[in-house]
Amino acid sequence: MKKILITGGAGFIGSHVVRRFVNQYPNYHIFNLDALTYAGNLENIADIEKAPNYTFVKGDIVDAPFIDALFAEHQFDGVLHLAAESHVDRSITDPLAFVKTNVIGTMNLLNAAKTIWKDQMEGKRFYHISTDEVYGSLGAEGLFTETTAYDPNSPYSASKASSDHFVRAYGETYGLPYVLTNCSNNYGPFHFPEKLIPLFINNIIHNKPLPVYGDGKYTRDWLFVEDHAVAIDLVFHKGVNHDTYNIGGFNEWQNIDLVKLLCRIMDEKLGRPAGTSAQLITYVKDRPGHDLRYAIDATKINQELGWKPSVTFEEGLERTVNWYLDNQKWLDNVTSGAYASYYEKQYENRDS
């Protein structure tokens, strides 16, 4: 049985990837390593926590001796690395936290993989899940391709760009077998309500202002998270060694148009008169260094691996809204902080 390590599996995207791998691959044992920072929530994967091919490990990727010991003990065959500090606004107020987890943490995983795989690299794989933000900002035209030069603008994207470079460097210097993907903005269930879509859904439910940064004309390319998980599965199994793939939704939206669409859907679902939620829109001070536009050219992964998004944005957004409305307990637990006690309840007291 292959042993696969997934890092950050209690977070938003990681939880979808862990669920997919546990369910699709009974011949793998999936180890989910997560520090359970504010962004980690074991309620996200409560449905698979008792699966026989699944083990949760609480731990910090910044802790090198711990990571070395974990790799030595389990001799993982593959690593899917998603653990990260992921929120751009937080990176502006605390950049060092992003260097620690995103750069040093990634280095620790690379070193540990290099050590245990040194005599047998064949059949092994280190997969780094990264972001389109490493490419910086587009103007009105053009798309990011795999050959677009890195030009990160925020401390978050600089830390992800740095970790991407180290992954490539370990491939070139030590022959570490790796694949890397750079993906656009994800949305869907279990998204932490600090990010645009879940924050605004939560605020609309509670009649709170919707803080649109700047003039709202910033553009993002949105992808339903389950489509990202499918792409990750494909790249992990079929991606070419030492290669990079861009993943995106072919789905650009200016923030303000997206917010207005979301307001319309929410009014309908909540049975409020049309236009009610849009009154909550409030233009606020812009994010410093705010990238104007991201848009991915996902032709390569489409042509080489046959992947394309399966969910339209209208469908995905409606599914997302339905999920949040059906799971208000999840949202309440996150906003109240109650989710943080899940680990103690489910794991620390398990043997007592």
Please list the alpha-helical segments (H only) found in 118-195.
155-174
Q: Could you say whether residue 220 binds ligand DAU (CB under 6 A)?
A: yes
**Cβ-based neighbours of 153, under 8 Å, separated by 6 or more:** 133, 136, 137, 289, 291
Closest to ligand NAD by CB, 236 vs 277, is 236
Instruction: Provide the 10 A C-beta neighbour count for residue 24.
Output: 12
Q: What gap in Å lies between CA 257 and CA 137, rounded to an integer?
A: 19
| SS3 label, residue 125 | strand
Q: Which of 29, 34, 42, 212 binds ligand NAD (CB under 6 A)?
A: 34
Closest to ligand DAU by CB, 212 vs 321, is 212
Closest to ligand NAD by CB, 63 vs 267, is 63
Q: Could you say whether residue 133 binds ligand DAU (CB under 6 A)?
A: yes
Please give the structure tokens belonging to residue 212: 């649109």
Task: Scan residues 121-150 and list those touching ligand NAD (CB under 6 A).
Answer: 129, 131
Q: Could you say whether residue 319 binds ligand DAU (CB under 6 A)?
A: no
| CA dihedral (253, 258, 259, 260) positive or negative | positive
Q: Could you say whether residue 91 binds ligand DAU (CB under 6 A)?
A: no
Composition of the chain by helix, strand, coil, percent to 5:
50, 20, 35
What track of x and - describes contact with ligand NAD for positions 100 through 119 (by CB under 6 A)?
-x---x--------------
Which residues form the catalytic set?
A: 132-133, 156
First to last CA, the chain: 30
CB distance 44 to 19 below 8 Å? no
Closest to ligand DAU by CB, 104 vs 199, is 199
Instruction: Provide the 10 A C-beta neighbour count for residue 72.
Output: 11
Segment near ligand DAU (CB under 6 A); pick from 74-82, 100-108, 209-217, 297-305: 209-217
Q: Which of 4, 5, 18, 36 binds ligand NAD (CB under 6 A)?
A: 36
Residue 101 gets the label, from left (phi > 0), alpha (psi -120 to 50) or beta, of: alpha
Task: Scan residues 160-179 and list those touching ligand NAD (CB under 6 A).
Answer: 160
Locus of tokens 């109650």: 338
Q: Could you say whether residue 294 binds ligand DAU (CB under 6 A)?
A: yes
Q: Could you say whether residue 86 binds ligand NAD (CB under 6 A)?
A: yes
Q: Which residues bind ligand DAU (CB under 6 A)?
A: 86-88, 131-133, 184-185, 195-196, 199, 211-213, 218, 220, 255, 287, 294
Q: Which residues bind ligand NAD (CB under 6 A)?
A: 7-8, 10-14, 34-37, 39-40, 60-62, 82-86, 101, 105, 129, 131, 160, 183, 185-186, 192
